[in-house]
Amino acid sequence: MPLYQVNAGRLTALPPTTFVAEKVMERKDLQQLLLSDISVLGDDLLVIGEEFGDWEDSKRRIDLLCLDKQANLVVVEIKRTEDGGHMELQAIRYAAMVASMTLERAIAGYARMLPGDEARERATADILDFLEADSVEEIELTGEVRIILVSGDFSPELTTAVIWLNKNNLDITCVRFQPYKLGDKMLIDVAQIIPLPEAADYEVKAREQAQEVKKVRTVRQEIFRKFWAQLIERSRDSTQILANRSTSTDHWLSAGIGRSGFGLNLSLTEDRARVECYIRDAKQPDEWNTKAFEVLKGQQDKIENDFGHKLNWDPLPGRKGCRVSYDMEGGWKTPPDAWSDLQDQLILELIRFEAALRPPIQQLNI
C-alpha cells in the first residue's frame, strides 16, 4: 500500500522508488542507519557487533550482531533488494556459527566497537545494564539465536521459506524497508511483514510451548523455575504483589510498584537473596534516573525506618540506572528442604519494601 501526501485537501500517492535507483548501499548506508538507531527493529536490542566475524577459517561477516533482553543473540542480515541471494539461508548459517558463543566472547566483540583504553570495562557495564544484572556470573547466553532479515522487499520464495522455518521452531522476522520519493527527500516505510505484528505474540507463545516440550532445562534454570513457582504460591495468602506473575527460569522475578521507570525485583545469586527497586525509565534521559534516585535518597531515613532495615543505595556509576536494595543470606544453592524459610523471608521483606517505597515513588515529581 503506497504512502500518501495530503495536498490541497486531496490525497496524492508518493512515488515509490528503490534503494538501487537512489544509490543507497547496504553496508555504507542501510547498515549505518540501523547502527545509529537499532530501535527501528525493536526496542529490546543492543548492537554488540558490526561486520562481526569472530571465528577461524571463514571470511564471512554478520552485518549486525545484537543481544536482546532475554540474553538471546540476534543476527541482523541486510539486503537492499528482494533478490537477496538466499539471505535466509545465509542468516541461518551465521546463527549456527554464533550459537555456542559465550558471554566473554560477546563482551570482547562488543568492546572492539568501542573507542578508548577502557573499552572492555565499558562493554561489560553496558551489557550488565542492558540485561539488568549485577555481575557477569549471573548471565548465561541462552544458546538460542533470533534472526532479523531487513530488505527493500521479499520474494514469495523467501517468505514461504521463512514461514515454514518459523513453524519448525526457528525465530525469523522479516522487516521491509520500502523507500518513497518526496521532492528531493527519501522516506522509508518500515513494516514488519513476518510475523504480522498482530500475530507475533501468538506465534511466539506457540513456539515457546513447543520448545518447552522438546528441550530439557538446565539444572540452574529448573531450580529457578521451581523456587519462584513455590514462592509465588506461598505469597498468595499474604500479598497481591505477585498475584499476576508466573514462574521464571531466570535468576530474577519482577513485579510492579505502580509507576513506570521503577522495577520491583526479587533476585538470587549462589549465596545471596535480594529485594530491589531498579530505577530506569528508557523514555527519559539518563539524568532523570539519577535525579529520581537522589530525590528518594533524600528521604532515606524515613524510607528505612518504614522498611525496618538499612538499605543499599547504589547510584551505579557508569550505568544508566540506579538501584535501592536489601540483601539477605541464602541463594539458589540453598538446599530445597530449606527453601520455605528463605521464601517466607523474601515475601516478608518484599511486602515491607514495597510498602516503604510505593508512597514516595508515587509522589515523586521531577
The CA-to-CA distance between both ends of the chain, in Å, stands at 43
Instruction: Kindly state the cell numbers that stand for 306.
Output: 518504614
Among candidates 223, 264, 268, which has minimal Cα distance to 240?
Answer: 264
Contact 130, 110 (CB under 8 A): no
* One-letter amino acid for residue 290 of the chain: T
Q: How confident is the model at residue 214 (pLDDT cuts 50, 70, 90)?
A: very low
Q: Tell me: the pLDDT tens digits for 39-58?
A: 999 878 999 999 988 766 66
Mean pLDDT of all residues in 326-351: 96
Just give the CATH number of 219-362.
3.30.1460
- The percentage of the chain sitting over the pLDDT mark of 70, rounded to a whole number, equals 92
Among candidates 151, 183, 191, 157, which has minimal Cα distance to 18?
Answer: 151
Q: How do the domains of the chain map onto residue ranges?
A: 4-101+141-214, 219-362
Stretch among 45-54, 83-92, 330-339 having the lowest mean pLDDT: 83-92
Residue 249 phi/psi, 5-degree rounding, is: -95, 5
Tell whether pTM > 0.85: no
Q: Where are the beta strands (DSSP E) in 318-365?
A: 322-329
- 4-101+141-214 under CATH 3.50.50.60, yes or no: no
* 4-101+141-214 and 219-362 share one fold: no
Q: Tell me: the pLDDT tens digits for 221-255?
A: 899 999 999 999 999 999 999 988 999 999 999 99
* Helix orientation angle between 103-111 and 119-131, rounded to the nearest 10 degrees: 120
